[in-house]
């Protein structure tokens, strides 16, 4: 996998994942919506850790800085 996510993109995804986790674990969001947000947050966190977003690949999106 070739990296296709830049630093700003990764930071934004981590922040969103943390917000989703806080909403779920504080009970603000529960039920099915809570599980969906928690799963989405996990995907955001995983993609930011590996610097690769599978949805960017087919559209040839690359937010990495050019060298």
pLDDT tens digits, 36-60: 999 999 999 999 999 999 999 899 9
pLDDT at position 66 over 90: no
Task: Give pTM, 2 decimals.
Answer: 0.87
C-alpha 49/C-alpha 63 separation (Å) is 15
Report CA-CA distances (Å) from 61 to 40, 45, 46: 20, 19, 18
First to last CA, the chain: 18
Averaged pLDDT score across all residues of the chain: 93
Q: What is the pLDDT, as a whole number, of residue 67? A: 63
């Amino acid at each position: 996998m070739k990296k296709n996510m830049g630093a700003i993109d990764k930071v934004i995804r981590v922040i969103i994942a943390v917000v989703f986790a806080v909403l779920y674990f504080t009970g603000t969001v529960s039920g099915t919506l809570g599980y969906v947000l928690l799963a989405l947050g996990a995907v955001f966190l995983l993609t930011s850790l590996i610097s690769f977003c599978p949805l960017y690949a087919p559209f040839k999106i690359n937010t990495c800085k050019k060298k």
